[in-house]
Chain A
Amino acid sequence: MNTSLRGQLLIGVALAASLLLVGVYLAAGGSSYTPAKTQDPCKERQWRDPGGLQELAEQFSLSALDGAACELGVSRERLARALATPEARERFLERQRIDDEELVRAVRAGLLRAVDDAERAGALNPVLADPLRSTLRRIPPEQAIELIQNAEDLLDSLQGLFGPAQGLLEQFFG
């Protein structure tokens, strides 16, 4: 075999090996091996079948987070972390250029959406939904702020939302 032919063969083998590798890795999902994208909080999220009061309260809190995040135009995950500590909340308010009042308004809207979602999912008796909405609408701003400030454990706001939500639900279901 002459030098020219050997050279062409070498280039051909190199090209084939490279294309094969790239092709195999692409077919194996190489272009989609990325962290999961966060879901749009404005879209309705499927409720899991709640096994008990605790689970129901958790689903309620998650829906409330979705609703508040949708109001603020951020992801549910970012809002959850922002509500974890007073410092994180301050940073969040600064970056979003909003004040506590707007945040409270968003949280209240989130709680109301959670009632809608719970009702739609058949997890909340429609008879109880309206009184619950009225109660949530009447939460004074100070209490809403306190509710958020108390949320220190689960990725910012879960505990704060979870506690009062559980209390309210216990009132209605208990």
Chain B
Amino acid sequence: MNAPRPRLSALAIAVGIVLADSSIVVLALPEIYRQLDTSVAGVTWVLVSFNLVMALAAVPAAHLARRIGPGRAAAIGLAIFAGAGLACGLAAELNTLIAARCVQALGGAIAVTAVLELLPATVGSERRAVAVWAAAGATGAALGPAVGGILTELVSWQSIFLIQAPIAIAAGVPVLAVARHEAATGIIATELRPTGRPHLLANLALALASAAIAAALFLLVLLLIEGWRLTPIGAAIVVSVMPLAALLGARIGPRAGSERARAAAGSILVAGGLGGLALLPKAEVALTVPPQLLIGIGLSLVLSALTETALAGRAPQAIHGGWTISARHAGVAVGLILLTPLFTAQIADQRRDAIDAGTAVVLDSRVQPLLKLELAQKLEDRLEGEQGKVPTIGPAFEPLPEDPEDREDVLTLRDELQDQLDRAATHAFSPSFGLGALLGLLALIPIGLARRIDL
């Protein structure tokens, strides 16, 4: 009990790794989608199931932590989380993976809420404990996709889960000392104070803001990998702008005004960033950077301000922490459930429009009719071969004609076709990004309604 620094790191890592799990798998979804031979809607449940169980289990898990002791609860939670992570990594079919994700979320909910009970004794005050807990969670959630993308490309999607097991166990080692102390003495360190009502407006705003942030992460990754055909590691590098901006937001946040002002400014920035993504004027990776900067700074401001608000002056911390976890993950799950049918329908519509536009480009091109016939056949083969995904059309144009005039005509046709595909892939995500922006703006309503949201 006398080693607060390693324990603080361990507790922060435990919170970070569990909350990273709600988004870490985002960049691996296209790979899981291909390997487990499922649908876009099906693979979304790898994310939805985790967030749904976290939302449902967080408050009961907090009660459990208070009954059996936070040390024991955190150790048990981390053990379940690690074991289920191994099962996720070894899953050979989607249903097994989703079931293991549910168990993982259960363990994660127990661990995260118990850690909030352990932190005040480690850092010296409840207020600082809440700040550490909220910051660790926001950092984990923001870093998740980038880490997941790197692991997916360098190793495999399974490695995302397999690597979590030793990290969770390592984070659990300092917690075991507390658990042993609780077991030996029979003393549960937490004071069994009566549970007050949760801060409804702050939690509602947290749910709406989380839904918007989930939309940003999930859709941007799908756009980069499935729409613009970036590799997972390429997409990971691109979306790492968001956690970097979140770090900036974490630095300016505490000095920038009241919790209410930070929450409102954060929601506006998230909505503005999503609005920018909904209105991308070209399929250029660089154009995603300004919206990501706004979203990253915004998510840091809004998540920390609302979490601190929801917990301020409320006891017991674990229960109210449980409510914030529940609100955040319910928001993510509802956001994904709302967005999935919208963007899958849009992808189908845009694919149809792209095929029409592409057909028109081929029919009207100046390419010689006989060459056109050959190209049309090759393009048709590529469309068939990609089974509904955005095709890479470059190979259909190889080898290029030797005649300079024909060559120029073919290259013009290739560029025009690629432009139509890019337009369709980008536009397919616009309404979903727009809905995400709306969710971010809706978060302003409970923030504005809270009569005394300031600490």
Contact = CB atoms under 8 A, between A and B. Distances in A.
Interface of A: 3-4, 6-11, 13-15, 17-19, 21-22, 25-26, 28-31, 33-39, 48, 54-55, 57-58, 62, 65, 75-78, 80-81, 84, 153-155, 158-159, 162
B257 A19 contact: no
A167 to B, nearest CB: 14
B166 interface: no
B441 to A, nearest CB: 10
B209 interface: no
Contact of A7 (B258, B272, B366, B420): B258
Given A21-B290, A30-B278, A154-B369, 4 more contacts: A11-B268, A21-B276, A39-B360, A77-B363
Given A11-B265, A35-B423, A84-B380, A18 B273 contact: yes
A154 B261 contact: no
Contacts of A78: 356
A23 B221 CA distance: 24
Contacts of A80: 359, 363
A55 B290 CA distance: 47
B281 interface: yes
Nearest to B279: A30
Nearest to B369: A58
B369 A10 contact: no
Which are the 9 A-B pairs with shortest beta-carbon distances?
Answer: A18-B272, A7-B261, A7-B257, A30-B279, A28-B281, A77-B359, A14-B265, A35-B357, A25-B279
B280 interface: yes
A30 B282 CA distance: 7
Nearest to B283: A33
A14 B447 CA distance: 15
Majority secondary structure of chain A interface residues (helix, strand, loop or mixed)? helix
A21 B291 CA distance: 7
A6 B257 contact: yes
Most buried by A among B258, B273, B369: B369
A78 B355 CA distance: 9
Contacts of A8: 257, 261
A76 B357 CA distance: 11
Given A25-B280, A58-B369, A77-B363, A7 B256 contact: yes
B261 A30 contact: no
B6 to A, nearest CB: 35
Contact of A155 (B291, B359, B423): B359
B83 interface: no
A30 B356 contact: no
Interface string B341-366: 00000000010011111011111101
A28 B426 CA distance: 15
Interface string B233-262: 000000000000000000000011110111
Q: Say which size band chain B's interface belongs to.
A: 35 or more
A29 B363 contact: no
Contact of B427 (A11, A33, A155): A33
A154 B356 CA distance: 14
Contacts of B257: 3-4, 6-10
B281 A30 contact: yes
Interface string B174-210: 0000000000000000000000000000000000000
Contacts of A162: 369
The residue in A35, A57, A58, A76 that gathers the most chain B C-beta atoms within 10 A of its C-beta is A35
B281 A18 contact: no
B379 to A, nearest CB: 9
A84 B369 CA distance: 15
B372 interface: yes
B103 interface: no
A17 B268 CA distance: 9
Contacts of B380: 84, 155
Contacts of B356: 35, 38, 75, 77-78
Contacts of A30: 278-281
Given A10-B256, A77-B360, A29 B273 contact: no
B32 interface: no
Contact of B368 (A34, A54, A75): A54
28 contacts: A6-B257, A7-B256, A7-B257, A7-B258, A7-B262, A9-B257, A10-B265, A14-B264, A14-B265, A14-B268, A21-B275, A22-B279, A25-B276, A30-B278, A33-B282, A34-B423, A35-B353, A35-B420, A35-B423, A54-B369, A57-B369, A75-B356, A77-B357, A84-B380, A154-B373, A154-B376, A155-B362, A158-B369
Given A6-B256, A7-B256, A31-B279, A36 B360 contact: yes
A103 to B, nearest CB: 18
A154 B437 CA distance: 43
B261 A18 contact: no
Given A35-B427, A153-B377, A154-B376, A25 B256 contact: no
Given A3-B258, A10-B257, A19-B272, A158 B363 contact: yes
A35 B354 contact: yes
A127 B380 CA distance: 40
A37 B280 CA distance: 19
A45 B77 CA distance: 69
Contacts of B279: 22, 25-26, 30-31
A122 B273 CA distance: 54
